[in-house]
A and B are shown apart, each in its own frame.
Chain A
Amino acid sequence: MKKWILGLTLGLWAGLASASLATHSFTLDNGLKVLVREDHRAPVVTVMVWFKAGSIDEAPFETGLAHVLEHMMFKGTEKLQPGDFSKLVARYGGSDNAFTSYDYTAYFQQYEVSRLPLALELEAERLANLQIDDDEFYRELQVVLEERRMRTDDNPNALAWEKFQAVARPGTGYAHPIIGWRSLLSQLQPEQARSWFQRFYVPGNATLVIAGDVTRKQVEPLVKKFFDDLPAGETPPRPKQTVNPPAGERRIDLTLPVKVPTLFMTYNVPSLVTAEDKRDFYALTMLSGVLDGGMSARIETDLVRGQKLVAGAGASYTGIQRGNGTFTLQAAPNPGISLDEVESALREQIKKLQTTLPSEEEMARVRAGVLAGQVYEKDSVMGQAMELGTLSTLGLDLALSEKFGDELAKVTAEDVQRVAQQWLVPERLAVGHVQPEQGEGK
């Protein structure tokens, strides 16, 4: 069946991903790391600043602080009134936003390329001169509480996920929600935000990414002009993350106002950062693709179409993290199918991976998807900036993407079986069942 694809994999695929674009890297004296990606297809530019400061850096009493500070970065500075930042971006046709993750906080501006000097000057200004006013802080905290209501409190699946994460990743910074536990979030104080800013928002803890219709020659003097004078400050220490010992099998049963039950299963596994043997990362990536790499992968073929147990299901390996990774399965059963039945079917899928080697066709298909995906990803300038920022912030090889295909090609069916046996074991598993309230969802 379609043996020819194997030939293709070795020959044609090899030439594809090598259409790589120029990336330049330099570091200022104060420690700011600068990455420049040249993509001259259109006269646009994306400017991002990434900080190694995310919700996993929060102490237990200050959950939500990284994200609240992110909101405050759009308020006042020495030279800007609250709101002026985004208004200036808008006036010159740009868009701006930011996002806070477990591992980092990142800011971006996107423009037509002649706006580059403005983008850099604005970023430098808030990094040098942010001012956190008490009244502004409290008002913005109300906005963040609205954000929490919208995203989590009024969405029972999101609420369930939040509770499940606390059980699925015990004893790590990933156990608390990025947006913060409601009661602690609402008690945050302006002084905590100021101290967070002073601690983490120093040049040595940041990466500036500029991607688009630019050259290093054009960018470097501008960057120096606006960022060279920032004092180096002290770069906060970062503990080395290692693979955790198994936490033991855990279960959580939730009754919430859902109309359709949901199943979560998470295994605690190594990430690319924490894996002692980096091949485990690539093998887990292949394993994830075999289970859920598209409509032809096992979950869609066996569970959705074959056994018709679930209306929707998915598996994903989150292996690009500062701490350990997760391998997560989620499913919503069809009417009349219990969560226990779905859980058994998913455990059966894991067992199959542990006992039977995946076929060469499956392995080739996963690699095809990944390699083609690398070409498609280059269509987005923002996507390229995101990739560079993530890799830099996690201390990973910037050329990871280029090497990805080769690394995946080295993974054998035996490797996939081995990581399934080694990591997808009960003592690394958390299971969550979310059931509707009485009388619902029948």
Chain B
Amino acid sequence: MKSRSEWVHLKKNSELLLLLMPGALLVFVFSYLPMFGTVLAFKDFRYDKGFWGSDWIGFDNFRFFFISDNAWLITRNTVGYGLIYMLLTTVIALAFAMLMNEMGKKWLRIHQTAMFIPYCLSWVVVSYLALALLDSSNGYLNKVLELFGMETHMWYLETKPWPYILVSAYLWKNIGFSTLVYFAGIMGINQEYYEAAKIDGASRWQMATRVTLPMLSTLIVVLLILAIGHIFVGDFGLHYFIPNNNGMTFPTTDIIDTYVFRALRVYGDIGMSTAIGVYQSAVGLVLVIAANYVVRKINEENSLF
């Protein structure tokens, strides 16, 4: 009987299911099928033997990776950069969005447009902009340093400056977008709250901390939880193109994503690069679930699931 009633439901929802189908199929093929492909991490993949025919080798791929020095290095870099990007973006974008709310419409548009322009560009194009600044012989930055009588640098051959360069580049490109998302959130807050606060004699600062921030908290938390999952997924374009894929900078620029790409395209090591990918996805998943768990303990309303 139960199965029959389910059939009725299916029929009733059939047209909505039809709308769902093409997208669901794409998700299945391009997102779920590769998940099954992670078994390659436990195989010695060979193109001639194929996916099914390659030999099982257990955890060897993982072992080779984890005993190398690279494992620690790229994990540290990925997590370090991920955390800095996440925290700085959230704090700065929130601050900008709230300050923008205090501004006249005309100016708002100008600043918003300017801040958003870098987001429209690819990392490849941005790497050309970076080159204009950082090029060792002609770059503008070295010229300025020279002007002030300071030491010039061969930026692309040094390791130390890269954390600053990468963080600046990340913020430069992405802060406009994040600010916009938070600003849209602020615009979505019902004006009545502000009017009520005004009647109660709240100052601008009090309105910001007592109305805007609490009303945005769900949005902030959702974006933070998702960002935490991304801590382990680095920004490939940023870390590949801005340092020009230059081996000299790897100690401070290499992240899991660029490492996997090299392992796949340069060394052709399918098994190990899959294993690193699995490591990356699994840790990312654990991080999201843990973050969500913590949030749920504090305030169930704000958790993602």
A binds B: no
Residues of A within 8 A of B (CB): none
